[in-house]
Amino acid sequence: MKRFLAFALAFLALSVTTLRADNDRIIEFNELPKAAQQFVTKYFAGRSAVLVKLDRDFLSTTYEVTLSDGTEIDFNSNGLWKDVDAKYNTMPLGFIPAQITKTLNARHAGDPIKQIERKGRGYKVELSSGLEAYFNAKLQLVRYDD
Per-residue pLDDT tens over the stretch 71-113: 999 999 999 999 999 998 999 999 999 999 999 999 999 999 9
Is residue 49 packed enough to be buried (19+ CB in 10 Å), middle (13-18) or exposed (0-12)? buried
pTM of the model: 0.82
Do residues 27 and 49 lie in contact, with contact meaning Cβ atoms separated by under 8 Å? no
State the pLDDT at residue 1.
57
Q: What is the largest CA-CA distance in the chain?
A: 67
- Domains of the chain as residue ranges with CATH: 23-89 (3.40.1420.30), 96-146 (3.40.1420.30)
Nearest to 62 by CA among 34, 32, 38, 91: 32
Tell me the three state secondary structure of residue 1: coil
Do residues 77 and 62 lie in contact, with contact meaning Cβ atoms separated by under 8 Å? yes
State the pLDDT at residue 88.
84
Do residues 67 and 50 lie in contact, with contact meaning Cβ atoms separated by under 8 Å? yes
Instruction: Using 70 as the pLDDT threshold, list the residues of the chain that sit under it.
Output: 1-22
